[in-house]
Amino acid sequence: MNSRLTVGVIGLGGMGRPMAQRLAAAGHAVCGYDISADASASAAREGIEPMADPAALAARCELVIAMVWDDHALRDIVNGARGIAASSRLPQCVVDLSTTSVAVAHEVGTTLSARGSAFLDGAVIGGGVAAVKAGKSPIVLAGDRMLFDRYLHAFSVLGNCSYVGALGAAKAIKIVNNLLVGVVTAANAEALSLGVALGLDLGQLVGWLRLTLGGSRVLDSYMGRYVDEGGYGEGLIGHRLMAKDMQLAAELAESLDCPAVFPRPAREMYLAFGRSLGADRPFPSAFEFFRGNARDTSVPQRA
């Protein structure tokens, strides 16, 4: 039954805010909380009822969706002094769609379960802000299957949802996806910079490589757009967050005794990109880092 819910969204940034807007547009009552008072006030102008803290939001909502920065932020909104777990009345279901670790998914799930609230872990695995706004993001969710089915009508407002198994599975898929995004983007950046250093035209080269087995969605989406428009696209995370995602992959691999050559060096590279270009510059700007460090100076070193 597609009932009208009271849904809380915690984290009203680039991804969380359009999610809240879509839920409101679908007829649900939506409450919002963000650590930034400006973000809450801005969302309030769009019909999202601002709440003073996660505990107050939790007391009002049947379903709570978190879209926050990292593990620390997720723990804070759940276990903090005014976190969800401290609420007088807990929601039926809390869903974390942030890019956080498998370990924290289990930890938060245990905490909320002990307080009588259920937890699903989830992730948006593609499409960026534009797809979230259009409700077309691929979304994976894991945990209690019955809970997933019960709230699927609300989740479906946000994108194309797939149930992927036991708690933690969605986070693992997200971490794998972002490992691929991070490494393939940086490797493309290095290869394209090399191509330019060899005298090839960047636009033609992107077009040629896209045809081949070396092609990828990041090459199409980010470098294709850079060539066409001079930018990488809307709402992309910066080098700092991509470094965090590489760290998540490294930690997951180490926890599973899984051989993984790429994650830690990729993290170091994203930290280097951030130091050179700005920690919050969109992560595909790695290309500019390699161009800036190339001997050939015939192209602009900093776009």
Partner 1 sequence: MPPDGQRGAGVLGGGAGAVAIARRVASRVESVHLFDPFNRMLAMPDGDRICVSASAEEMWSRSDVAISHLEDEAQLRTVLGECWNQRASGHPSTLLELSPISASAQAELSARCRDANVALIGGRVAALGGEGAARSVLFVDDAALSQPELAPLLDALADEVVPTGAAGNAKKVGMLVDLLVGVNTAIVDEAIVLGTRSGIDAATLVRLVGTGSGANAVLARARTAPRGEGAHADEECASLRRGLARASAMASQVDHSMFFGSLAISSLLGRHNAHARRRT
Which of 103, 194, 202, 279: binder of partner 1 (CB under 8 A)?
A: 194
Interface pick for partner 1 out of 128, 224, 238, 282 (rule CB under 8 A)? 128
CB 210 within 8 A of CB 192: no
For 120, the 3-state DSSP assignment is strand
Integer Cα distance of 49 and 59 in angstroms:
13
Q: Does 227 bind partner 1 (CB under 8 A)?
A: no
Q: 250-279: which residues touch partner 1 (CB under 8 A)?
A: 252-253, 256, 258-262, 265-266, 269
> DSSP secondary structure string, 235-287?
T--BHHHHHHHHHHHHHHHHHTT---SSHHHHHHHHHHHHHHH-TTSBGGGHH
Q: How many residues bind to partner 1 according to rule CB under 8 A?
A: 69
Residue type (1 letter), 146:
M
Is the separation of the CB atoms in 263 and 249 below 8 Å?
yes
Does residue 191 touch partner 1 according to CB under 8 A?
yes
The least CB distance from residue 179 to partner 1, in Å, is 6
Q: Which is nearer to partner 1, 95 or 172 (CB)?
A: 172
Residue 232 contacts partner 1 per CB under 8 A: no
Q: Is 187 in the site for partner 1 (CB under 8 A)?
A: yes
Q: Which residues contact 115 (CB under 8 A, 6 or more apart)?
A: 85, 90
Which helix or strand (DSSP H or E) is residue 163 part of?
Answer: strand 159-163
Please pick, from the candidates 104, 105, 209, 277, the single residue that binds partner 1 as defined by CB under 8 A: 209
Per CB under 8 A, 99 contacts partner 1: no
Q: How far apart are CA 238 and CA 277, in angstroms?
A: 10
* Residues in contact with partner 1 by the rule CB under 8 A: 102, 125-128, 138, 140, 160, 162, 164-166, 168-169, 172-173, 175-181, 183-184, 186-188, 190-191, 193-195, 197-201, 204-205, 208-218, 221, 249, 252-253, 256, 258-262, 265-266, 269, 290, 293-296
